[in-house]
Amino acid sequence: MTIATPLVIAVLGTGPVGRALAGRLGSLGHDVRLGTRDPAATGRREEHRTWHEEHAEVTVATFAEAATDADVVVNACGGEVTLEVLDQVGAELLDGVVLVDVSNPLDFSAGFPPRLSVCNDDSLGEQVQHAFPGARVVKTLNTMNSAVMVDPARLGASASVFVSGDDPDAKAVVARLLREMGHDDVIDLGGITSARGVEMFLPLWLRLAGALGSSEVGIAVVRP
Ligand SMILES: NC(=O)c1ccc[n+]([C@@H]2O[C@H](COP(=O)([O-])OP(=O)(O)OC[C@H]3O[C@@H](n4cnc5c(N)ncnc54)[C@H](OP(=O)(O)O)[C@@H]3O)[C@@H](O)[C@H]2O)c1
């Protein structure tokens, strides 16, 4: 499969992850749209305005408008609203698209630390793939914070990033984007069921960040 560069990329989500990924991918020369429920309301948010002043090349649109004609759609919304947001985009727009899922199925309803809303023999990545069978879902980047996602060198050591998905060509596109952002150890874990592993890393990641007093922690997989 050949996908031209620059890519048309829709980043769905205006939180720290969406802003970080949209800004970085835009600065790399891709045609990036940031998706939100209500662009006007989002435009009134101070943190968004400050970010957008630095990333004027990124357009802001509704989730569905952002995803229209995109090569790659990135889900950067909360795990609890992920399927709802992708429903707003619709199966038709997601058909054939590389759908990058960076979400985590965290349930904060009983406080901190959150529990996983899906685990063991299922994952949010699989639920996304099941709900949108025409999309080519790739789970990645959910094992690190937003700053590290877009600038892994800030850890000062070579960290590893994982990709999970059933479509090898889609994983190749995602691996290319990861390398463009500075990730030099991209590990293909296999099919989308392997998203269970990276999603179930979150309880340890949360404890590590708490114990070390920093969310700037990454996994470095050591092997011969
Ligand atoms: N924060 C990190 O460093 C980090 C690291 C790894 C993975 N993740 C995962 O990445 C995802 C994004 O995290 P985040 O902290 O950047 O953003 P977030 O606060 O989890 O999500 C923000 C986005 O969710 C959208 N959304 C859609 N429907 C919503 C509803 N009913 N209620 C609330 N929000 C709704 C918001 O829309 P509007 O734009 O309209 O407000 C916004 O775009 C999460 O799944 C998180 O677990 C985060």
Q: Strand 59-62 vs strand 72-75: parallel, antiparallel, or unpaired?
A: unpaired
How high is the pLDDT of residue 210? Answer: 96
The pLDDT tens digits of the residues spanning 71-86 come to: 999 999 999 999 999 9
Q: Which atom of ligand 1 is nearest to the CA of 18?
A: 16
Instruction: For residue 142, give the nearest of 184, 100, 108 by alpha carbon.
Output: 100
Specify the pLDDT at position 194: 99
b (16+ CB within 10 A) / e for 44-83: eeeebeebbeebeebbbbbbbbbbeebbbbbbbbbbeebb
pLDDT tens figures, 12-44? 999 999 999 999 999 999 999 999 999 999 999
**The pLDDT of residue 2 is above 90:** no
DSSP 114: P
What is the band of 157 on the pLDDT scale with cuts at 50, 70, 90? confident
What's the pLDDT at 1?
55
Closest-CA residue, ligand 1 atom 21, reads 77
pLDDT at position 175 over 70: yes
**Structure confidence by residue, pLDDT tens digits, 89-137:** 999 999 999 999 999 999 999 999 999 999 999 999 999 999 999 999 9
Q: Is residue 16 in contact with ligand 1, taking CB distance under 6 Å?
A: yes
From atom 19 of ligand 1, which residue's Cα is the shortest distance away?
15
159 lines ligand 1 (CB under 6 A): no
Ligand 1 in contact with 45 (CB < 6 A)? no
- pLDDT band for position 183 (cuts 50, 70, 90): very high
Q: Is the CB of 17 under 6 A from ligand 1?
A: yes
User: What mean pLDDT value characterizes the chain?
Assistant: 97
CA 24, CA 144: separation in Å to the nearest integer?
16
In the prediction, which pLDDT does 11 show? 99
Q: How far is CA 15 from the centre of its chain?
A: 11
Q: How far is the CA of 79 from the centre of ligand 1 (A)?
A: 8
How far does residue 135's CA lie from ligand 1's centre (Å)? 21
- Summarize the confidence of residues 148-164 as an average pLDDT: 94
C-alpha 17 – ligand 1 centre gap (Å): 7
Inform me whether the pLDDT recorded for 8 exceeds 80.
Answer: yes
pLDDT of residue 158: 82
Per the CB < 8 A criterion, the answer to whether 33 and 61 are in contact is: yes
Pick the residue whose CA is nearest to atom 3 on ligand 1. Answer: 145
H helical segments located in the chain: 16-27, 39-43, 46-54, 63-67, 82-89, 91-94, 124-131, 146-150, 168-180, 195-199, 202-212
Q: Is 77 in the pocket of ligand 1 (CB under 6 A)?
A: yes
Can you tell me the mean pLDDT for 147-172? 96
Q: Are the C-beta atoms of 138 and 170 separated by less than 8 Å? A: yes
Closest Cα to atom 20, ligand 1: which residue? 78
